[in-house]
Amino acid sequence: MRLGNTAERYGLISLLLHWTVALSTIGLFALGLWMVGLGYYDPWYYKGPWWHKGIGAVVFALVFIRWLVLLLSPVKALTEMPRWQHLIARLVHQSMNLLILFLGLSGYLIVTAQGQALVIFDQFRLPSIMNLPPDSADFIGQLHLWAAWLLIGLASVHALAALKHHFINKDATLKRMLPF
Query: CATH number for the domain including 49?
Result: 1.20.950
Measured distance CA(159)–CA(179) in Å, rounded: 16
pLDDT value of residue 82? 86
**How far is residue 108 from each of residues 40, 149, 163, 175, measured CA to CA in Å?**
22, 18, 34, 36
pLDDT value of residue 134? 82
Could you tell me if residue 5 is inside a domain? no
Could you tell me if residue 4 is inside a domain? no
Could you tell me if residue 7 is inside a domain? no
pTM: 0.93
Domain of 118 in residue numbering reads as: 12-177
Could you tell me if residue 163 is inside a domain? yes
Could you tell me if residue 167 is inside a domain? yes
Measured distance CA(154)–CA(13) in Å, rounded: 23
Question: How many domains in the chain?
Answer: 1
List 114's β-bridge partners, or say none: none
Residue 79 has pLDDT above 70, yes or no: no
pLDDT in tens, 35-55: 999 999 999 999 999 999 999
- Please, are residues 165 and 173 in contact by the beta-carbon 8 Å criterion? yes
Could you tell me if residue 97 is inside a domain? yes
Could you tell me if residue 65 is inside a domain? yes
Could you tell me if residue 2 is inside a domain? no
Measured distance CA(108)–CA(112) in Å, rounded: 6
